[in-house]
Structures are given as C-alpha cells and as structure tokens.
Chains A and B, each alone.
Chain A
Amino acid sequence: MNNTAREDILGSIRSHLAASVPYDKQEVSRGFPRINADQNPSSSVEICGQFKESLEAVDGHCVIVQGDEGIARALTQIVRGQYIAISDNPEVERLLHLTDLEIEELGIAPNAHEIFRFDVGISTAQAAIAETGTLVLDSTRERHRLVSLVPPVHIAIVRASQIYRTLGEVLTLIRKDKEVSPAITFITGPSRTADIELTLAIGVHGPQELYVIVDEVN
C-alpha cells in the first residue's frame, strides 16, 4: 500500500485548487442546464421496429418473431456450423432443442480456453435500447461474456418487453440495482474497425455477424 503517493497526489490537488481560488472569482460562473428526458411511452410494435431499424443501420441483423416456435425457426435458419456455444441461461438450451439443428458439440458457457473452437455463440440479453439498437448484457444474471464475444457469430434472443427506448432509461435501470454488476456490456452491432485507410471492416476482434431475435409477444 503506497500511502505516500496517495497523500502526495491528493495534497497536490488540494494545494493547486487552493491556489486557483483568486482566479476562479474572475471567471463567469456557468449554468447547469438540466436536460429534460422526453419520455413518450411507445407501443411494443413501434419499439421493436425502432430497435430493428437502429440495429440494421450498424450492420446487425434483426428478426422479429412471435413465440417459441418463431424463435426456433429463426435459429434453424441462422445457425451454420455444428460447434455451438450457449450461455448458462436454461432458456437458450430449451429453445435450441426446439430446432432441428444438427449439433456436433454443445458448450454451455465454455471457459477462456475452450471458447475459441466454437462457430456460434447464443445468449439472451437483459435489456435492449431501441434508439441505438443496443443489447445490454449483465454478467450477474447470465454467463454470456465469452459466448457473445469470441465465436464469429453471436445470436441474442430478446423479448419485446425488455426493449427500452433510450440509453438514459437503461442507465437508470442499471443504477437501481443495489450493487452494480461486476461486468455489464453494451453491444451495438458486429465488431468493426476503420483503422486501415478509414475503410470499414466488420469483425476484427469480436463477432463478424450479430443476429438479434426479438420475440414480439413476450
């Protein structure tokens, strides 16, 4: 424990702020405009449509379905490859068994050494944001940190009731928990870069493809 460094830095902050006081008075004080969050409640259909539009604008895919059968059909169409990693949410495994996919290996929340061999990762999300097309993954509620990150394809299953309109609403929701979860991840579209001549390349480190299946009736 280096208490000296801590005390030195805090001491330096305090003494320099104190030195600034005479000059501070000459500065015009700034207002603090509060921004009114416009909160118009939207219908479920509207919000699903907005989510889909936002997600597609950032090269993600969105399928809006109705009920378990719809989810299973969508999974059957999307999944290619037979090495499938899923999160530990039993819902995902249940839905996967409703499909007629041929599965060579099913990994449930594989660890950091195992995860690299899978073709696709499937999880749910704890919330989504319509205005940006964002998925919100909370590590205390599901083990999906790696299945959503390492395989080249990530498929997320979301219920319409989990989609919020704005970033602000979701930040408030996260803060409501007594303790913020150790790892929360926001995902908006597939991994991307423009580091070579500003040319867009999809899938540099994270998934190359992102599919979100939205169940409209739940």
Chain B
Amino acid sequence: MNHLSSETFDENAKAALADTHLRGALKNATSLFGERRKAAAASLPNWEDLRSEARAIKDDVLSHLDRYLEEFAGNAESRGAKIHWARDAAEANSIICGLAAERKARIVVKSKSMTTEETHLNAALEAAGMQVVETDLGEYIIQLADEPPSHIIAPAIHKTRGQIGELFNAELGMPLTDDVARLTSTARATLRDRFAAADAGISGVNFAIAETGTIVIVENEGNIRLTTSLPRIHIAVMGIEKVLPRFADLDVFLKLLPRSGTGQRLTTYQSYITGTKRQSTDEGPEELHIVLLDNGRSRMLAHPVTRQSLACIRCGACLNACPVYQQVGGHAYGSVYPGPIGAVITPQLMGIEKSAQLPYASSLCGACREVCPVKIDIPRLLLHLRAEIAPRKGKLSERLAFKMWAQVMMRPSLYKMSSVVGRVMQRFVPLAKAWTNGRDLRPIESKSFHELWSDE
C-alpha cells in the first residue's frame, strides 16, 4: 500500500484523489512553497539572468562531464578523500556496505539524500546487519512509518501532526501529543543518542567543485553537520551530474537553490568539505569517501533534450507548481523522484517500459518550466519521452482509425459523405461515452460549412 509502483500511475492517482486529507495537505504545502518562491525570486533584480547563467554553467559541465569529473576526483583525492566509482545502484550499495563492514560499523546515521533513496541503500545496509538511522526530521518520520518520501524537500508532507504523534507514541513510547515543538524535541533527543553512538555517517551532495575537490551540502536542521562531523568516517554519495567547474559558480547556485526550494535567502547551514582534516587532532572524521554514481545518468547525455534532465538541482519547485502533483502528491508517481522532474527522470533511470504512464502525468501546461531555476524544458522532455513510448504502445484499432481518417481527409467526396453519416450516426449510436459522461457533445450542425458556402 505504502510502496506504489510507477507502472500504475493512473490507479495510484485515482486513489490519491479520493484522499481528502492528502489533498488538503498538498494544497497547503504547494501553495505556501509556491508563494515563498515567487517572493524570494522577486527580491533579486537579476533572477532571470541568474537562471540563464546557471543553465549555461550546467550545459558546459554536462558537455564536458568526463573532464570535470576527472578534475574533481583528482583534486578531492589529492586532499585525502577516497573516490569510488559506481556504475549502478547495486555497485554503490556494495561499496558503501563494504566500507561500513570493514570498519565494523553497527550504527549508521544518514542525512537526507535523494540519491541513496534511488539506490535503496538503507535496505542494503540493514541486510548487512547494520542499524540505519535517517536523521532529517521528515525522513526520520517516514522511516518510522516505513513509507517513501512524498516530496523532494519535505518528505513527510503527506502526514498530519496527529498521525506523527501517534507514530511517535507507538514507536518511541512518547506520550500522545500533536504539539509540533514537543514532537520535534523528542526527535532531537532520540536522534542525539544515535549521533553519539554512530560509527559512520552517510550524506548526499548538492554541489561538487571540480577546481578544488570540495563537496557542498545545504540544509536547515543541522543533522548534516552532525552526520559529517561526529562519526569517524563520512561517506558522501553523489550522482555524477553534481559537478560545477569553479568555486565562484556557487554564487549563482546558492542564490537559486534555497529561493526555489523553500523561499529562503540562504538555508541555515552550508557545509563545504574539502578532503580530510590536516592534523589528527583536528575536529571531524578521519576518513572521507565520495561515491560517484552513474546508474543510467551517462545515457541521458546522448541527446541535448534528455541531457538537460541532468541539470536538475533537486529544489522541488516544479512539484509545487504542477497542477498534477498538487492533486495527487508524490506517492502516486511510485518513484523516488516525483512531480514533473520525476516524470522525466524516472523513465530514463528505470527504463521506459516500467514507467510508461509517467510522461503522460502532465497537462503540458508549462508551469514547471517557468519556475525551474535551471530552465529545464520539462514539457519538451515529456513530449520527447512520449514519442519514444507511442510507437510501442499504439493499439491496432487506433492505428486503423487514423488510417481511415487520413483516407477520408484526402478525398472530398468521402469527406462530404462522412459529415452526412456522422449526423445520422450521432442520433442512434452513443459516441465517445467516456467524454460525454461528464459533458455534452455538441450535435453536428445540420449544414456543413461547405454547404453553407455554396448556398450563399
């Protein structure tokens, strides 16, 4: 129930539409995020220039991704980080489980990472006998509830405070409450205990700087700082598309990402981590491992239209702007990445046959393109993917119908006859039932335009 499949988007969406609580929560969240984003963008005089510049930087990175990755890896390694290359999810998980097992890690703390959601790392670590603790409050809640995230930046957006109170009561033995401050402080206390005991910390990466070998991680809660400061080993997992050429490029992306995501000028914390500490007495982990994950990304480079999917900085703005996401929420997509960006990334990562309904989960209204901080043309991507799907799934009856239509349109005599036949047929045969269930189909006029014209 909680883990839906992207193969059944249509059914998932129907179930979500019947959930009035969910739709209320989605409406609040998406409209609040949407308004904040708008105000934050308007507060900068050069928002449009920033978007264009960000996209130009990403285009440059993606067109020379091999070079920038090698530069990043070289610089990070020269500063003491260990770089691991993972072709797919299984390889990434086995590298990470191996690192943790070699160090006899029992408790692993994690900060929010969409990439490790994509690889299902938690299941792999648990199978290897480790206790994995998600430390972002939203992620912690859905981990306790055994649910996937429903929004890229607000994973537990679908749950009420009452539901979370019941969950904490059942799982943590906390007295029943729906007071947000008390729920939050209980999570703080419980998780501090885990942080103090953790043997390894696993994080994602927002940006990786080629020229310095730096990884940059942004957050509001402080759990990323704890994850990357307290345990003696830090493992960072990143998609290969996260590289930026220069440190100065952060000036563009740090303006766009928080404003697009939550409407903040800057998130509370940014951690810039460059290799390992210089002296053993310094604070922070002794080891830094960076896992570079492909998992289908390099395939997307093969066409400029699909390539732009890799420019995404995971801000979530397109989810909030999307009239489909606003109604059905994240779980209906049945994939780690929901919303418009999920509808284009998922089929490319997972294979189009497993998620053929997702590129149709859009009215092509273009709201996503308007808000995207890196100007990804998502509607064009959706059409591109639909064009790949259509030849595979076109029905015989549909193809025959279009052939007939083409014949009729090419012969004036047949065309004239068809309007006469249509007028008669409409009286006796119920046409397009699914359409006319909820609306009227206008009757075909008794005289066609051709007939009116020749009468004049």
Name the B residues within 8 Å of A5 (CB-CB).
Answer: 84-87, 91
Contact pattern, A 44-78, Cβ under 8 Å of B = 1, otherwise 0: 00000000001000100000000000000000000
A2 touching B271 in the complex, CB below 8 Å, given contacts A167-B255, A182-B278? no
Name the A residues within 8 Å of B29 (CB-CB).
Answer: 198
Nearest-neighbour CB distance to chain A for B179, whole angstroms, equals 10
Name the A residues within 8 Å of B191 (CB-CB).
Answer: 205
- Interface size for chain A: under 10, 10 to 19, 20 to 34, or 35 or more residues? 35 or more
A116 touching B161 in the complex, CB below 8 Å, given contacts A171-B247, A201-B184, A204-B188? no
Contact across chains for A185 and B269 when beta carbons are under 8 A apart: yes
Nearest A residue (CB) for B211? A175
A27 at the B interface (CB under 8 A): yes
Instruction: Tell me what chain B mostly uses at the interface: helix, strand, loop, or mixed.
Output: helix
A218 at the B interface (CB under 8 A): no
Contact across chains for A13 and B66 when beta carbons are under 8 A apart: yes
Contact across chains for A8 and B301 when beta carbons are under 8 A apart: no
Name the B residues within 8 Å of A175 (CB-CB).
Answer: 212, 247-248
Q: Which of A13, A58, A112, A201 contacts B268 (CB 8 A)?
A: A58
Nearest-neighbour CB distance to chain A for B315, whole angstroms, equals 15
Q: Which of B85, B262, B270 contacts A9 (CB 8 A)?
A: B85
Nearest-neighbour CB distance to chain B for A113, whole angstroms, equals 7
Q: How far is the CA of A19 from the CA of B294 in the complex (A)?
A: 18
Nearest-neighbour CB distance to chain A for B187, whole angstroms, equals 7
Name the B residues within 8 Å of A124 (CB-CB).
Answer: none
B71 at the A interface (CB under 8 A): no
A107 at the B interface (CB under 8 A): no
A182 touching B276 in the complex, CB below 8 Å, given contacts A143-B283, A196-B183? yes
Contact across chains for A195 and B250 when beta carbons are under 8 A apart: no
Contact across chains for B301 and A194 when beta carbons are under 8 A apart: no
A184 at the B interface (CB under 8 A): yes
Name the B residues within 8 Å of A113 (CB-CB).
Answer: 196
Q: Which of A146, A180, A186, A198 contacts B266 (CB 8 A)?
A: A186
Contact across chains for B66 and A14 when beta carbons are under 8 A apart: yes
Q: How far is the CA of A17 from the CA of B241 in the complex (A)?
A: 13
Nearest-neighbour CB distance to chain A for B307, whole angstroms, equals 7
Interface residues of B in 59-74 (CB under 8 A from A): 59, 63, 65-66, 69-70
Q: How far is the CA of A184 from the CA of B180 in the complex (A)?
A: 32
Nearest B residue (CB) for A9? B294
Nearest B residue (CB) for A26? B304
Instruction: Tell me what chain A mostly uses at the interface: helix, strand, loop, or mixed.
Output: loop
Nearest-neighbour CB distance to chain A for B177, whole angstroms, equals 12
Name the B residues within 8 Å of A19 (CB-CB).
Answer: 302-303
B386 at the A interface (CB under 8 A): no
Contact across chains for A13 and B137 when beta carbons are under 8 A apart: no
Name the residue among B212, B282, B283 with the largest chain A CB count within 10 angstroms. Answer: B283
B274 at the A interface (CB under 8 A): yes
Q: How far is the CA of A198 from the CA of B276 in the complex (A)?
A: 36
Nearest-neighbour CB distance to chain B for A125, whole angstroms, equals 13
Q: How far is the CA of A132 from the CA of B259 in the complex (A)?
A: 12
Name the A residues within 8 Å of B302 (CB-CB).
Answer: 16-17, 19-20
Contact across chains for A190 and B87 when beta carbons are under 8 A apart: no
Nearest-neighbour CB distance to chain B for A124, whole angstroms, equals 15
Q: How far is the CA of A146 from the CA of B255 in the complex (A)?
A: 27
Q: How far is the CA of A76 from the CA of B229 in the complex (A)?
A: 30
Contact pattern, B 41-66, Cβ under 8 Å of A = 1, otherwise 0: 00000100110110110010001011
Given contacts A5-B87, A191-B269, 8 further A-B contacts (CB under 8 A): A112-B196, A134-B266, A149-B222, A182-B275, A191-B221, A197-B180, A204-B137, A206-B226
Pairs A-B, 10 closest by C-beta atoms:
A206-B222, A195-B138, A205-B222, A12-B298, A16-B302, A5-B85, A16-B301, A184-B272, A191-B222, A201-B184
B residues touching A (Cβ–Cβ < 8 Å)? 25, 28-29, 32, 46, 49-50, 52-53, 55-56, 59, 63, 65-66, 69-70, 79-80, 84-87, 91, 135-138, 141, 154-157, 159-161, 164, 180-181, 183-185, 187-188, 191-192, 196, 212, 214, 220-223, 225-226, 229-230, 240, 247-248, 250-252, 254-255, 262, 264-278, 282-284, 292, 294, 298-305, 307
Name 10 interchain pairs, CB-CB below 8 A, sorted by A.
Answer: A2-B85, A5-B85, A23-B304, A27-B304, A109-B283, A112-B283, A139-B282, A149-B226, A175-B248, A204-B184
